[in-house]
Structure 1
Amino acid sequence: AAAPEPGAIASSAPPGGDPTAAQAGDASAAASAAPAAPSDGCPDGMARVPGGSFVMGPLKVKATVGDLCMDRTEVTAASYAACVKAGKCTDTLANCAKEASTYGVAGKEEQPMVCVDFAQAQAYCAAQGKRLPRDDEWEWAARGGEEARPYPWGGEAPKDQLCWSGGGAVRKTACDVGSFPAGANPQGIQDLAGNVFEWTTSANDGGGKMRVARGGSWRDGIPPLVRTARPGGFEVTYRCGFLGIRCVTEPAAPAAE
């Protein structure tokens, strides 16, 4: 319903009635006309993903995930630059192939931040009061939870729902984040397939020198490489032009009544 026009809320007390009751009625009406506060417990720029249990990945591992707030887009080069300026992130970044670099490159501020190793990705999320996702949390969000989608948008084969080098496209760099809304998951989280791989905290080797990364990238051109259940992996010191960051955090507890 439309909000009342300014000044349209009037006292309901009859002439000569109780002014206290009228004031209470006015306050109640004003409160009901005020915009509702966000109720999902997630910070701006994040979406709430309800938790649940599922069988994860090609190895069919049982996993349980709690409710989660996840960034709606991958971390941009501009956001990372702001973290560097604040003294909370490091700018000692590896040289990427020129065409794939985004940090400090004019016109690429809204592309995903790349050329960050695992420690730099962790530090960025921590500076925002967040963290990197676990592998199971990432897959649960990407597949739409219990919907078990093979791709974040559903069962339709990938074509133009993502930033990749398939479907007739040949790319030399990432795309601006959020450029493919048709590829979002049920909560509106974008670029979970393609654009850049995303670091997780889950190790996929016995020695802890590697971490799982998810989602595929702009370089990939065949559907299996961007499926929600397909994990990738990189050494923790690895930096490249197709590996970036997405953060998560726990939802805030509901306010006491």
Structure 2
Amino acid sequence: MGLTVAPFAGPATTPSGGVPGADPTLLAAIPGGRAALGDHFGDGYAGDGEGPVHEVQVSAFRLGTTTVTNAAFATFVDATGHRTTAEAEGYSAVFHTDVAAKVADVLGYSPATPWWVGVRGADWRHPEGPRSGIEDRADHPVVHVSHDDALAYARWAGRRLPTEAEWEYAARGGLAGKRYPWGDELMAGDTGEEWQVNIFQGSFPATNTAADGWTTTAPVTAYRPNGYGLHQMVGNVWEWCSDWFDPTAYDARATRDPRGPASGTVRVMRGGSFLCHDSYCNRYRVAARSAAPPDSTASNLGFRCAADSATDAVTDVATDKENHA
């Protein structure tokens, strides 16, 4: 299964924020500005509240160029002894074709989405179950992390989770009104066969052909970044945001640095994952929204960290590109 990934040799950014050296994830400077957020194409699901399209002003901030990796999360666990929600509960959700566990460890299937399986012993160290590991996946995104786990990591690192508005603004990479971080077309290249995102190929949920080279997660820098130097803002893993979810949030949203409601029952997730497919979960788009309870964990759920702006802390990726054009 040949993997065709667009090569990238971009400008370096500098680790910053929180405890020096604690979090190796690079931060890119995201310039402040205005953008029209929401679904420009009518692609979204009504219940997700992707509309109306609305203009917001976002202040400059910093965002991880990648999601937090297994290696970075291991450093956090080694330093703090943190025990994740999945470890405490003893199980987590794994996609049915990926399960690596004894039959006795398969606890049941979700009635509404039977391709999700509760697996005893599935956690960040064992993404598909007790018979799997991350020894060869240090540079893959950490998964099976709840919103609570993501917050604990961010606080340890002196960082935070991005707001939903920051996430979408950054995911667009400076492109106005596009479907994906790179434009409107899913595939790239002269022949239209170059994958730009890690999603499900084949017949969902039965057969994944892995045409892009991956059946589960891919390394966090496997695909070229967007205009702000951010890798895989769509596909690979869902990413927790700081906001509580409200499907009507856009109707009366603040125009400057908007945030979600003050309370709620589910937190915003963005970006889709390696399991998204246009026949079921067409949410590998920059406008797509979803949500889950903050204690939810699954084999396709991770996060990236944000931080407030610091003028001398990082390279502004967009500016650096202009200087080297």
Hey, what's the Cα distance between the residues in 1 that align with 2:124 and 2:55? 37
Task: Note the 1:68-217 alignment, pairs <5 A.
Answer: 68-87=61-80, 89-94=82-87, 95-96=91-92, 97=94, 98=99, 102-103=124-125, 105=133, 106-145=135-174, 147-158=176-187, 160-166=195-201, 169=210, 172-181=215-224, 184-205=225-246, 208-217=264-273
Which range moved further: 149-158 or 192-201? 149-158
Q: How many residues align?
A: 216
Aligned counterpart for 2:303 among listed residues 224, 245, 254? 245
CA contact (8 A) 1:84 1:91 kept: no
> Which is richer in helix?
1
CA contact (8 A) 1:68 1:251 kept: yes
Deviation of 1:46 after TM superposition, in Å, equals 1.2
Which range moved further: 172-181 or 86-95? 86-95
Which range moved further: 102-111 or 195-204? 102-111
CA contact (8 A) 1:122 1:132 kept: yes
Deviation of 1:253 after TM superposition, in Å, equals 3.9
- 2:151 partner SS: helix
CA contact (8 A) 1:54 1:62 kept: yes
RMSD: 2.7
Deviation of 1:102 after TM superposition, in Å, equals 4.5
CA contact (8 A) 1:52 1:145 kept: no
Percentage of identical aligned residues? 31
Deviation of 1:203 after TM superposition, in Å, equals 1.1
Hey, what's the Cα distance between the residues in 1 that align with 2:299 and 2:312? 40
Hey, what's the Cα distance between the residues in 2 that align with 1:201 and 1:140? 15
For structure 1, which runs of at least 5 residues remain unmatched after alignment?
1-37
CA contact (8 A) 2:143 2:298 kept: yes
CA contact (8 A) 2:175 2:183 kept: no
The aligned amino acid for 1:161 is Q
CA contact (8 A) 1:52 1:146 kept: no
Deviation of 1:204 after TM superposition, in Å, equals 1.2
Deviation of 1:165 after TM superposition, in Å, equals 0.9
Hey, what's the Cα distance between the residues in 1 that align with 2:54 and 2:184? 22
The aligned amino acid for 1:216 is G
Cα–Cα, structure 1 residues 151 and 195, in superposed 2: closer, same or farther, change >3 Å?
A: same
C-alpha distance after superposition, 1:71-130 (max 9, x if no partner): 111101111111011016334534333458552622122211111111110111111111
CA contact (8 A) 2:84 2:146 kept: no
Cα–Cα, structure 1 residues 254 and 101, in superposed 2: closer, same or farther, change >3 Å?
A: closer
Deviation of 1:242 after TM superposition, in Å, equals 0.7
Hey, what's the Cα distance between the residues in 1 that align with 2:167 and 2:157? 19
- 1:74 partner SS: coil
1:52 aligns with 2:95: no
- 1:86 partner SS: helix
Which range moved further: 137-146 or 222-231? 222-231
Deviation of 1:53 after TM superposition, in Å, equals 2.1
CA contact (8 A) 2:267 2:292 kept: yes
Determine which structure has more spread, i.e. the larger CA radius of gyration: 1
Which residue is 2:5 aligned to? none
How high is the TM-score relative to the length of structure 1?
A: 0.75
Structure 1 moving runs of 4+ over 6 Å: none
- 2:243 partner SS: strand
